[in-house]
Amino acid sequence: MSNELDGTYQVTSTTNYQGPLEKKSDGQTEIVDGKTQRRDQANCLWTSTFTVVSENEVEMVSVADPSEANEDFSLMRPDGSPTREPVTYKSTLKYARKGDRIQLSGQIEYGNDVTFLTMRKI
């Protein structure tokens, strides 16, 4: 079953996080049937679902599982403490489409951190 979001995307992010842990979540991912699974530069496993909710919005639910990530890598809990447990992130992203070109963008708020996410279909 094909999904209108299916394809390969370049993932880039910026964050207000100023702590000691390096963020390594950028890279490429492939959406198939509205779902994607990839390992980032820290070997953290990201499993995400994308659901088109309107002509200009997509709901994204991502679970980051750092259990097999590099030893020096952790995610952050809402209170700012590091964790090696899975973390779920939810956001509604802006959905822009022109022909085959697609861009998803928005912000993810988790605890005191705000991450600006952009996904461009390549």
Q: Which tens digits make up the pLDDT trace of 17-66?
A: 665 555 667 789 999 999 999 998 889 999 999 999 999 999 999 999 99
| pLDDT higher than threshold 50 for residue 1 | no
Residue 75 has a CB neighbour count (10 Å cut-off) of: 21
> Domain for residue 1, yes or no?
no
What is the number of structural domains in the chain? 1
pTM of the full predicted structure?
Answer: 0.85
> Domain for residue 110, yes or no?
yes
The pLDDT of residue 80 is 83
The pLDDT of residue 23 is 61
Given the structure tokens 């990839």, which residue do they identify?
A: 38
Which has the higher per-residue pLDDT, 8 or 114? Answer: 8
Give the CATH number of the domain where residue 102 resides: 2.40.128
Contact between 83 and 74 under an 8 Å Cβ cutoff? The reply is yes
Q: What letter represents residue 56's amino acid?
A: N
